[in-house]
Amino acid sequence: MTAAERAYRLALRAYPADYRRERGCEILATLAELQGGRTAPDVRELGGLVAAGMSERGRRVSGGGRAGMWAEGCALGALLLLLLAATASAYALTWDLWYARLGMRWPIADYSPTPLAAPGLARVLAATLLPLAAAFAICRGRRLVALVALAAPLAATALYLSGVVGFAGAAGYQSWTPGQSWLENAYRLGTATFLAAPAALLWVGGRTDGRPAMRRSLGWLALPAVLAIMHLAYWATTVTFWPLGILVLAWFLAGRWSPHLAVAAFGVAVPVLVFILPTALGAPEYEYAVAVASGAAVLALASLISALAFAPGTELDRPPV
Amino acid sequence: MQTMREPTYFTLAALLDGPLHGYAITKRAEAVSDGRVRLTAGTLYAALDRLLGQGLVEVDGEEVVDGRARRYYRLTPSGRRALAAEAARLADAAAVVVTRMSQAPEPAA
């Protein structure tokens, strides 16, 4: 077997197993003829195989229809953003607990990662547990339940930002600032952005019946969306970039929603975060240890919830068609 | 009517002269597009899957050559009609511009 064929066989793994059984030999035969006498694989062909394979998996996960792809893509995007929100919130909370133990306050006076300024249990509930509950509901295909779960923290945020309700410990928390760019404000709003975005995605995703849906699943848009939001907060970048990026790939490579793969993906990401990033960025290692520990805890919890939620027959866990 | 994507269009165009297997389709598509369209295997088989699903092409037969599996595909009558309709649409679209180009004054440099 040549190096090219080995590479093409590896790239074919992007397709679902039964597709490979049906078409794999034929595709490899075509590639062998296209290859001519060259021994090195054609990068363009490799990219084409991976893209087409993932597209096939995405089509199957969503049921094949355009409206289904749209809805599934929105749900996937919402799920990722919610996990991001819960991770970020747990990270901030861990810091708060850490500083409380040391008798200190959040070190950056004019910024806190969560504008849901209610302290303690209320904040855990609003910024961590409710997003996870919404994630659970999405896994079960319960879009409206997820929206309801998000309604409380969003309403609390809106009330706080409008000045109607002042939470204890609100000093130092940020609100919408006229004159600043929306990116700046999104950064300031932190958790509200994290929760509003998935809520909007869920809302849009559920309203696709009877109108043209996109050709491709919006799931692909989730990654740039997550990246864009994460760039608004450096800590989120360090905590969640690799796990979520790998998570998306793992989901598509698996051709189905797999909490086990999510856990495995995070297992891969943790060493990267713990050992490589702190050194690369020259940052104190304990900060990343806290970040990774809180992120790992939330994602492990989310994965556990997903494992319970993804029973056969649930809306998002269709078997290959 | 839905617009046809370029790989789909040239895959159908490649099959106009008769049944072909995957490799031959990519080569024919490249030739009829004057080298502009170079289908990767991934793109080709995605297009073929879609066209098979829509009934625009069908499997003509299979054979093994030099130990390699080959599957031949051919246009169905509805595939031929769809290709003709798309070609007519493209020709109409081109005619609009060509006609106006000949009548409109050259913009000042």
Reported as a pLDDT band with limits 50, 70 and 90, residue A37 is: confident
What average pLDDT score do residues A183-192 get?
49
How many angstroms separate the CA atoms of A221 and A233, rounded? 19
What average pLDDT score do residues A243-253 get?
51
Q: How far is B94 from chain A (nearest CA, A)?
A: 26
**How many other β-carbons are positioned within 10 Å of the β-carbon of residue A321?**
9
Q: Is A29–B69 a contact, with Cβ atoms under 8 angstroms apart? A: yes
**How many other β-carbons are positioned within 10 Å of the β-carbon of residue A63?**
15
Q: Is B23–A33 a contact, with Cβ atoms under 8 angstroms apart? A: yes
What average pLDDT score do residues B2-26 get?
91
pTM above 0.80, yes or no: no
Q: Is the model more confident about A70 or about A212?
A: A70
The rounded mean pLDDT for chain A is 60
Burial of A168: CB neighbours in 10 Å, binned 0-12, 13-18, 19+: exposed
Burial of A305: CB neighbours in 10 Å, binned 0-12, 13-18, 19+: middle
Residues of A in contact with B54 (CB under 8 A): none
pLDDT for position B57: 96
Q: Is the model more confident about A16 or about A300?
A: A16
Q: Give percent of chain A above pLDDT 90.
A: 4
Flag whether residue A29 sits within 8 Å of chain B, measured between CB atoms. yes
Question: What ipTM does this complex have?
Answer: 0.89
Gyration radius of chain A over CA positions: 22
Q: Is A30–B46 a contact, with Cβ atoms under 8 angstroms apart? A: no
Q: For A59-88, what is each residue's pLDDT tens digit?
A: 665 555 556 656 666 666 677 667 766 666
Which range, of A21-25, A198-202, B74-78, B100-104, averages the lowest pLDDT? A198-202
pLDDT for position A88: 63
pLDDT for position A300: 53
Q: Is A49–B40 a contact, with Cβ atoms under 8 angstroms apart? A: yes
What average pLDDT score do residues A161-171 get?
46
pLDDT for position A14: 80
Residues of B in contact with A320 (CB under 8 A): none
Q: Which of B37, B40, B35, B32 is nearest to B16 (CA)?
A: B32
DSSP symbol at A233: -
The 10 Å CB-count burial string (b at 16+, else e) for A240-262 is bbbbbbbbbebbbbebbbbbebb
- Residues in Cβ contact with A170 at an 8 Å cutoff, skipping those fewer than 6 apart: A117, A160
Reported as a pLDDT band with limits 50, 70 and 90, residue B5 is: confident
Residues of A in contact with B40 (CB under 8 A): 44-45, 47-49, 52
Q: Which residue of B has its CA nearest to A42?
A: B40
How many angstroms separate the CA atoms of A198 and A281, rounded? 30
pLDDT for position A268: 46
Option in B23, B69, B71 nearest A34 (CB): B23
Query: Residue with structure tokens 């607990």?
Result: A97
Q: Is the model more confident about A98 or about A250?
A: A98
- Residues in Cβ contact with A229 at an 8 Å cutoff, skipping those fewer than 6 apart: A81, A84, A186, A193, A194, A197, A236
CA distances from A276 to A129, A247, A283, A291 (A): 30, 19, 11, 14
Has residue B76 got a pLDDT over 90? Answer: yes
Q: Which residue of A has its CA nearest to B63?
A: A26
Q: Is A30–B22 a contact, with Cβ atoms under 8 angstroms apart? A: yes
Residue ranges of the domains in chain A? 3-58, 64-309
How many angstroms separate the CA atoms of A197 and A205, rounded? 12
Q: Give percent of chain B above pLDDT 90.
A: 62
- Residues in Cβ contact with A26 at an 8 Å cutoff, skipping those fewer than 6 apart: B22, B45, B69, B70, B71
Residues of A in contact with B46 (CB under 8 A): 52, 55-56
Q: Is the model more confident about B106 or about A236?
A: B106
- What length does chain A have? 321
Reported as a pLDDT band with limits 50, 70 and 90, residue A58 is: low
Q: Is the model more confident about A66 or about A148?
A: A148
Option in B23, B41, B70 nearest A48 (CB): B41
Residue type, A94: T
- What length does chain B have? 109
Q: Is A26–B71 a contact, with Cβ atoms under 8 angstroms apart? A: yes
Q: Which of A144, A131, A115 is nearest to A202 (CA)?
A: A144
Which range, of A92-101, A197-206, B14-23, averages the lowest pLDDT? A92-101
Reported as a pLDDT band with limits 50, 70 and 90, residue A148 is: confident
Walk across the sheet containing B57-65 and list its strands: B20-21, B68-75, B57-65
Query: Residue with structure tokens 């080959």?
Result: B70
pLDDT for position A171: 33
Burial of A270: CB neighbours in 10 Å, binned 0-12, 13-18, 19+: middle
Q: Which residue of B has its CA nearest to A30?
A: B23
Q: Is A26–B46 a contact, with Cβ atoms under 8 angstroms apart? A: no
Q: Is A52–B26 a contact, with Cβ atoms under 8 angstroms apart? A: no
Q: How far is B44 from chain A (nearest CA, A)?
A: 9
Q: Between residues 19 and 78 of chain B, which touch chain A (CB distance below 8 Å)?
A: 21-23, 26, 40-46, 49, 68-71
Reported as a pLDDT band with limits 50, 70 and 90, residue B83 is: very high
Three-class secondary structure assignment of B6-74: HHHHHHHHHCCCCCEEHHHHHHHHHHHCCCCCCCCHHHHHHHHHHHHHHCCEEEEEEEEECCEEEEEEE
Q: How far is B56 from chain A (nearest CA, A)?
A: 18
Q: How far is B104 from chain A (nearest CA, A)?
A: 37
Flag whether residue A215 sits within 8 Å of chain B, measured between CB atoms. no
pLDDT for position A217: 41
Option in A49, A55, A56 nearest B41 (CB): A49
Q: For B35-55, what is each residue's pLDDT tens digit?
A: 888 999 999 999 999 899 999
pLDDT for position B39: 92
Structural domains of chain B in order of their starting residue, each with its CATH number: 6-100 (1.10.10.10)
How many angstroms separate the CA atoms of A131 and A93, rounded? 15
Q: Between residues 268 and 307 of chain A, which touch chain B (CB distance below 8 Å)?
A: none
What average pLDDT score do residues A41-69 get?
74
